[in-house]
Structure 1
């Protein structure tokens, strides 16, 4: 089975949505146990299972690395297509409807969907197995979770693994941590939409709307796109509207680009340098003479660059050099606890501390963080969920799986974050073993394997999103300073002369 055997529809676009909240039941199991016992069968008796709260994360421990869910729901009362959409499952999800395997998804942060229109009954049973393997040989880990399966701050330092009393069990998050939705859509949907603005002269900008459409039906579909672009958080500019005819063959996936002129563009600025102006792009997809999908996407007009000079790195926004003041950031170890209110409060604290940038450290945050950062004018340095060593002394199959998992997840990161002006840059891998300061394993082939994947990831990030700088690592040319934390005294910071500090700790 493919790593991701599902629909990847990143923008919310349903004509109607119903969240599945009531009636969930769950059971914790060992890896592989549930299928052997028939947990996915529609006639399985789950009365002995406990009630489940969805969304919610649980802690996976060695030997208890999967959680099974079951819920019943009636056939939706509409005549269009029905999708089951998972907003987030940590880490591997396998999904069945009425005993039929729909597919799977790997990765904790991206939404994924299944078209269940042909499999619905009057009464339906949805079964989901979510797995989060617990890897105790941390240098040899192959699963891509970032800070959630190897970190010196979770929930105790990784160097203490196996040294603490029995009650300190090493665990990783596991479960359905974002809502599960039933969605009504038409035959044509959008996999992703990229808003690509560029200023040509001071009073004129060009906006390219790039989108990938998918025909879920086997028949030819004709229709049109209705596009409207208007100010979102400012006034004074008239809305722009246009239409574009579409035609897709049965099950065709088609890339479309639409270009509009934006007179008198308002630029997005970090909060200390101007206003974070946002636009709203609305796309209505018509197919088969009816509404098929409806998308609302905010974006900002801004240019960002990174000058990596020997005397010091400089970020420039809209041509203006900015000395970045900031901190590393991780909201919660169990991300379901990171409510919109908590994330908003954290960004308020960052601004009150006069920070320009937060580094989202080796993980991906809930979508509301990026939306709030757009509106607050805070820049984000975005890491991929990669940290320290992977596949040390592992076989070729594990190395190939690691590479495939990295490349699949980075594409999801780009499509999720492309339209957020707050996202300033990407870094593929935090403190990999090939960086001079972290090459403690002392094995050249391990360093090279990690480096090959990291450099391929950075190149792919630049290809998918040329609007942002992409680094193969953090801790390579930029500096992580821990004088007074892991070594030396905090006073030693006064004599350092780093080109750019992206991580620091002292006590």
Structure 2
């Protein structure tokens, strides 16, 4: 689907510079002599723009910097016309020259960078654009300087990967004397009677000029402003009201009505420039980690979303959209775009499909003090770029703002790391106490319509003892996967929103593993390059227990599926008391990895994806989990619950519990109403283990009209207790 923004870009684009460019290593000599018109670059390799340089065979192991060149012809601008070079995405920073004249030094991988070339364009019709691209490896992981998030420091992307390059398009854009450099569109509040939209424009004027700002909603003029601009950059804020709006809703709550907003700058009765945004009219609020959309609360079932590809520029629109579709097919309401800002196509797909987004700013783990000013600037630019998307419900400034570092593939030894782990949470640090506050303020200043989270995964700490969302890895980094219910009962504050939990599993697409060598796999390579945490696998699914690779892989997927299923069931039973939602870790892989994902890099599902979808059905029936084993004659009193995300009561519901064992079968039945959007205690049953050893199976069935839900729990009776 082509958006209004894409049509607008096409309308003002004089020349698209995507395609084949020349490239070489950016040595001091190349930067000194090879940025002008008189350079012979015929012997240089060619590279496609947009792309990442490691996708080129000659630069597959390159860390840069590289120098790109592109020759092109461009007609001389007419009277009153301006020309701009626009670089839509550069990983991560660089320098730009036109015909040897220095234009600027862009920084920020997701930010479009524009440079006025009007004066240079009038001199000739033949030109050369040179871009020096730099994406320095972050050697000191505790004090990184590039704001690239997961792309340069994550245990789900190869440690040697470098995303550097001109990864988005480059174009020549035209305008009249005034160009809209940035347009921010935010829906401040909305109901069935009225919606209020706040617009903010950054206007670049080539002189002191009178202009008229015209705002269109769905091609109808709704506002006009007369304004006198000064030469240079001008900022302008205004509001428009929309009567009887068609509201945007998440997919499980209503329709995804979208609204086109266009802003034109008119000078001397001529449109100098225009920008369009497709948005949705809706209102977001949160109280104690319970979110509401348009006044209706929603329990958020979500997953962390990795980059569609590590080489994000190589992903196509279909792939980006498919990740959102797969999340929706799993019954999720929310994806957390984890530690990065993705391509605009992903947000367009989320808007259209009704998928809510928790948007991380690309800060993950530790950073150097020098980045504060740049991080503040980039946070504002993130709102300019993405603020109009109704799918984005919240911003998060920093994921896990801690400076301790675990080497690739190394298991997180909680006992060894306990002191630095707790110190990172409890004591003031520059990342957590200074950087994150500045970035949070920048988001709040730029966007008054959404909640902003300063940092993710921080435990309650002084002075407020409030904390944020929780990252709980029972059954992987610490404890047993059965420990969550007891932990929740002891510390319910940490259950308000659990934004990470899960376990690693071996993917189906495992061509990078020499399975013929089983059991003597290249464990060191799998740990160092592909993220495998072997120590944790040995704790939970030890290799020695299996005769072949396929059986072991299947067992790792079964274990992951169990962790996901039972964590979600526990959190859903705590619905709104106190849990507002969750995000399991993680939905997908960005490249071949052994990770926590339930969809591998080819989007082949693991068993965990099915478990996720089953646990996230709109209505589930649950029981207290049976122990691993029971002794003959043991008795258990078990609570039965029904969790419904439907916004209507289920009348005349029937819940049946059927216990099968070596003894006589037992059946219990309960009838009544199931509350709308809530967790309902159905009743209790008491089961007695038979005196004969063997399996015990508890089957649950809910029926209410066309709503049917089932569940199964199993244990075993044995004289020897596990």
Question: TM-score per shorter chain, which class?
Answer: 0.7 to 0.9
> Match for residue 206 of structure 1?
196
Cα distance in 2 between the residues matched to 1:275 and 1:321: 16
2:17 counterpart of 1:20: yes
CA contact (8 A) 2:142 2:403 kept: no
CA contact (8 A) 1:383 1:428 kept: yes
How far is 1:324 from its partner?
0.4
> Match for residue 253 of structure 1?
234
Cα distance in 1 between the residues matched to 2:334 and 2:191: 28
Map Cα deviations across residues 339-398 of structure 1 (whole Å, 9 max, x no partner).
11001111111111110000000110001111111111111001111111223xxxxxxx
How far is 1:207 from its partner?
3.4
2:76 counterpart of 1:85: no
Change (3 A) 1:200 1:51: closer
Q: Which has the higher contact order (CA 8 A, sep 6+)?
A: 1
Cα distance in 2 between the residues matched to 1:382 and 1:22: 31
Q: Secondary structure at the match of 1:140?
A: coil
The total of aligned residue pairs comes to 460
2:329 counterpart of 1:352: yes
> Match for residue 284 of structure 2?
304
Q: Secondary structure at the match of 2:482?
A: helix
Change (3 A) 1:438 1:72: farther
How far is 1:459 from its partner?
1.9
Change (3 A) 1:128 1:502: same
| TM-score, normalised relative to structure 2 | 0.60
Provide the alpha-carbon RMSD of the alignment: 2.6
Give the one of 371, 379, 389 matched to 1:402: 371
How far is 1:290 from its partner?
2.6
How far is 1:268 from its partner?
1.1
2:446 counterpart of 1:473: no
> Match for residue 317 of structure 1?
293
CA contact (8 A) 2:187 2:195 kept: yes
How far is 1:334 from its partner?
0.8
2:79 counterpart of 1:75: no
How far is 1:315 from its partner?
1.0
> Match for residue 465 of structure 2?
none
How far is 1:57 from its partner?
0.5
Change (3 A) 1:446 1:70: farther
> Match for residue 140 of structure 2?
137
Change (3 A) 1:54 1:251: same
Write out aligned runs for 1:163-182 (5 A).
170-182=160-172
> Match for residue 45 of structure 1?
40
Map Cα deviations across residues 86-110 of structure 1 (whole Å, 9 max, x no partner).
1101000210011111001111111
Q: Secondary structure at the match of 2:496?
A: coil
Higher helix share: 2
Write out aligned runs for 1:9-408 (5 A).
12=9, 15-29=12-26, 32=28, 34-36=30-32, 38-59=33-54, 64-76=63-75, 78-79=77-78, 80-120=81-121, 121-155=124-158, 170-199=160-189, 202-215=192-205, 217=206, 219-230=207-218, 239-257=220-238, 259-308=239-288, 313-330=289-306, 331-391=308-368, 399=369, 401-408=370-377
Change (3 A) 1:205 1:255: same
How far is 1:434 from its partner?
7.7
Structure number with larger C-alpha Rg? 2
Change (3 A) 1:445 1:306: closer
Cα distance in 2 between the residues matched to 1:190 and 1:412: 14
Map Cα deviations across residues 30-67 of structure 1 (whole Å, 9 max, x no partner).
6x56324x222332221221011111102389974211
CA contact (8 A) 1:414 1:464 kept: yes
- What stretches of structure 1 of length at least 5 have no aligned partner? 1-10, 157-169, 232-238, 392-398
> Match for residue 536 of structure 2?
none
- What stretches of structure 2 of length at least 5 have no aligned partner? 1-7, 405-416, 459-467, 489-494, 504-559, 561-722
Map Cα deviations across residues 210-262 of structure 1 (whole Å, 9 max, x no partner).
323221x1x3222323322128xxxxxxx4544333321322514142x4332
How far is 1:181 from its partner?
0.5
Cα distance in 1 between the residues matched to 2:418 and 2:29: 42
Q: Secondary structure at the match of 2:399?
A: coil
Change (3 A) 1:432 1:76: same
CA contact (8 A) 1:356 1:378 kept: yes
